[in-house]
Structures are given as structure tokens and as C-alpha cells.
Chains A and B, each alone.
Chain A
Amino acid sequence: GQQVMQIPQYQHVQEGEDFTTYCNSSTTLSNIQWYKQRPGGHPVFLIQLVKSGEVKKQKRLTFQFGEAKKNSSLHITATQTTDVGTYFCAADNFNKFYFGSGTKLNVKP
């Protein structure tokens, strides 16, 4: 079945440092989505990547979709305490979404 691996599981950074989480799928995906879940909250949609090799930016966040459409990354430049939360990739395998295990980001002020 579909497997989505996400690393690292946890990341503790000092405010101002960069952060990257990686998502790898065992199969080729139609598209991939990224979500952020704040502590005690629900997942909130960040972005969707559809095309092979696609790169999208949202302010300090950069999202990439691999050429083979099997992996993706989220990079945050100069983290802030508001970035705290768990970041999930969600692999869309024809409308059945498989969430990665998430990367829990903690930012120390």
C-alpha cells in the first residue's frame, strides 16, 4: 500500500535558523499537499504541488516537488516562534490522501 515517509520526526531550532522537512513516497503521486497543525489545532492547508519539479514560495516558505513526483520538501528560512507546529505532507494518490508522519518543529526564542 501507499507509504509516505517524512523526516525528521522532530526538529528543534533557534529562532532565525532555517528548517527543512522531507517527504518521500513509495509511488509516483498525482500531487502533494502540505499542511500545518498547531499544537491542539487542526491541520491547515498550506500549498499543493502538481507538476514535476515544481517550486512554490510563500514568504519564508519554499516548497519543492521532485522530478519523479515521489518526493517533496518544505524549507523555512529564518524561523520565527509563530512557525511552531507539526508540518505534514499529504500524498494524493487519486483522491486518497496519505499523510506523512509529520515533522514537529519547535522554535526557541
Chain B
Amino acid sequence: AAGVIQSPRHLIKEKRETATLKCYPIPRHDTVYWYQQGPGQDPQFLISFYEKMQSDKGSIPDRFSAQQFSDYHSELNMSSLELGDSALYFCASSLGLGAGANVLTFGAGSRLTVL
């Protein structure tokens, strides 16, 4: 079965550079979530989209932006990277909103290292 696809899997950037992460949800999943997980930490909710519109915002820095496109894939753009942005970034998708539909399927993650 098709899963959530994230790219790139690994990314190394210098401080103050920009990075873009991509997420391709499971077909027919119209909701996408972005999470940031630091070493030994729990996943921190960044932002979510439902039907190409932002549905909720968590602890996403102002330096980050995201969007969901017409084909439902999503991109997380990170600018002015800081050392503290080094983390595993997960994308998850769900069939929709509400109990039952909002079960999250996670991608394998994109590991960002900022030097």
C-alpha cells in the first residue's frame, strides 16, 4: 500500500541557509500535518492543512512557512536556519478531520542537520 513519502530523507545545511522539505500524502488523504522531533523528544506539532487550506498552527517559527498544493502534496520552507532547527521533520497525513478519519500515517521523516 502507498505510504506517506517525504523528501529529502537527509539534508545538511549551513546556518542562515534555506531548506525545503516535501511531503506526498497517501492518495485520497486530504489532511497533512508537519511535526518536528528533536533527539529524544516527542514530536512537536508545527502546522496542518485540510483541503489545501491551513487548518491549524502549532509551534512553527515565523522563519518557517508551509503550504499544501492542488495535488495535496505539501512543502515546508525553512529560512534563516539556526543550529536549533536540526531535527527530524515528520509529515503525516490523514483521511480527514474528526474521530475515525484523523488517524495519522507518518512518513519516514526528513533529517535536517544545520552546521
Q: Which residues of A line the B interface, CB within 8 A?
A: 30-31, 33, 35, 41-45, 48, 50, 88, 90, 92, 95-102
Q: Which of B31, B45, B107 contacts A42 (CB 8 A)?
A: B107
Residues of B contacting A43 in the complex (Cβ-Cβ under 8 angstroms): 43, 90, 92, 104, 106
Bound state CA distance, A48 and B99, in angstroms? 8
Residue from the set A45, A48, A97 with the largest chain B CB neighbour count within 10 Å? A97
Bound state CA distance, A96 and B108, in angstroms? 21
CB distance from B114 to the nearest CB of A (A): 20
CB distance from B8 to the nearest CB of A (A): 15
Residue from the set A30, A43, A99 with the largest chain B CB neighbour count within 10 Å? A43
Bound state CA distance, A78 and B41, in angstroms? 27
- B58 within 8 Å of A (CB atoms): yes
Interface size, chain B (Cβ < 8 Å): 27
Asked if residues B108 and A45 are in contact (CB atoms below 8 Å), the reply is no
Asked if residues A42 and B109 are in contact (CB atoms below 8 Å), the reply is yes
Bound state CA distance, A99 and B45, in angstroms? 8
Residues of A contacting B109 in the complex (Cβ-Cβ under 8 angstroms): 42
Asked if residues A95 and B42 are in contact (CB atoms below 8 Å), the reply is no
- B84 within 8 Å of A (CB atoms): no
Asked if residues B56 and A88 are in contact (CB atoms below 8 Å), the reply is no
Bound state CA distance, A101 and B42, in angstroms? 5
Asked if residues A92 and B102 are in contact (CB atoms below 8 Å), the reply is yes
CB distance from B2 to the nearest CB of A (A): 15
Asked if residues A96 and B48 are in contact (CB atoms below 8 Å), the reply is yes
Residues of B contacting A88 in the complex (Cβ-Cβ under 8 angstroms): 42-43
